[in-house]
Amino acid sequence: MSHTAHIRSHRKPRRSASTIAMRAGVAGGVLGTLAVAGASASTASAAEPVTQTLELPTLTADLASQVAQSADATQQAAAHYQLLAERDSAAANAAKQAKSDLAQAKKKAEAAKKKAAEEAAARKEAAERAARDSARPTLTTQSGTGTSTGSGSSTGATTGTGTSTGSSTATGSAASIVSFVKSQVGKAYVPGATGPSAYDCSGLVQTAFKQVNISLPRVSQDQSMAGTQVSLSNLQPGDILYWGGRGSAYHVAVYVGGGMFVGAQNSSTGVVERPLSYDPPTGAVRVL
C-alpha cells in the first residue's frame, strides 16, 4: 500500500462490479471470436493440405541403354587393364628366367670348353710322347761313325744317340737359314705367328726359308712332305726335322749342325736351340 493510502483524497476510486463484469464480457467475446476464427482456419488447413510437386527426369529407354553400355565399357576396360598387368608380370618373369638360364648356359659352355681344351692338350701330349717313344728305338739302331781324312779332319758328327749327322758346316743358302733361325732364339712362341717377334714351329721354318726365296707350305704336315726325305744319320744344316708321321707331323724345326736344332717349341720355352737328344725327331727332309 502507498504511504498516502490512508488519506482519503489520495485513494483510487473503486471500480464497480458492473464495470468489471462488462469488461469481462467484452474480453470473453473477443476471445471467443478469436477462438472461432482459429478453429475455422485450422479446419480449413486440415481439409485442404498444401502440396508441392517435384518433377524428376524420366528414365527413357535410350538413357537406360547408354548407362548399360557405359557400365559394360567400364568393365571391359578394367578387364583389359588387368590382362595387360598380367602380361607385363609374365613377361618380366620370363625375362628374369631367361637371363638366369643364359647365365647358366654360358657357365656350362665355358666349363665344357675348358674341359675339351684340357682333353685335347692331354691327347696331344700323349701323341707326342708316343711318337718320341716309337722314334727312339729307330734312332738308336742307326749307328754311324765319322769318316777320317788323311788330314785328320772329321766330316761327320755323332749325336748322343749314336746317330751320324753328316756335315756340320753350313754353306750358301743353308748358312743363311741357320744364321736366321739362330738369331730368333729367345723369341716367343705364339700359335699361328710367323714373326718377326713371335713364331709357332712351322711359322719359324717357313719364314727362315723365305730368307733364301724358297716358299714352303704353312703347316707342319705339309712341310714334312716338302723336298726329299733323308736319313737321320745323314743330316745337313738347313734340313727340316719333323716329329710324327710324314704328312701328319705335329712339329718341325731346322737342323743347324753339330747335332743341334732350332725350333719354336712351345709357349713355355719359345724359340730354343737344343741337341737332338733333347727331343729326337722322327724324320727329316731336305729342300736345299
Q: Where are the domains of the chain?
A: 136-286
Could you report the per-residue pLDDT of 86-141, keeping only the tens digit for each? 888 888 888 889 888 888 888 888 888 887 887 777 777 667 666 555 544 433 33
Could you report the per-residue pLDDT of 27-36, keeping only the tens digit for each? 555 455 555 5
ω into residue 196 within 30 of 0, thus cis? yes
The CA-based diameter of the chain, rounded to the nearest angstrom, is 205
How many helical (H) and strand (E) elements, i.e. helices and strands, does the chain have?
A: 5, 8
Q: What is the DSSP string of 73-132?
A: HHHHHHHHHHHHHHHHHHHHHHHHHHHHHHHHHHHHHHHHHHHHHHHHHHHHHHHHHHHH
pLDDT category at 17 given cuts 50, 70, 90 is low
Least confident of 124-128, 215-219, 264-268: 124-128
H or E element: which one contains 206? helix 201-210
* The pLDDT value given to residue 59: 56
The three three-digit cell numbers of residue 205, written as one number: 721354318
Q: Residue 75 gets which letter from DSSP?
A: H
More confident residue, 210 or 157: 210
Could you report the per-residue pLDDT of 168-213, keeping only the tens digit for each? 677 899 999 999 999 999 999 999 999 999 999 999 999 999 999 9
Instruction: Report the CATH superfamily, name and number, of domain 136-286.
Output: endopeptidase domain like (from Nostoc punctiforme) (3.90.1720.10)
Could you report the per-residue pLDDT of 34-73, keeping only the tens digit for each? 555 555 555 544 555 555 665 655 556 677 777 778 888 8
Which residues fall within 8 angstroms of residue 203, CB to CB, at 6 or more apart? 192, 193, 194, 195, 218, 264
**Whole-angstrom Cα distance, residue 112 to residue 89?**
34
In single-letter form, the type of residue at position 240 comes to I
**Whole-angstrom Cα distance, residue 21 to residue 142?**
180
Least confident of 54-68, 80-94, 232-246, 258-272: 54-68
pTM summary value: 0.47
Q: Which has the closest alpha carbon to 146: 129, 161, 158? A: 158
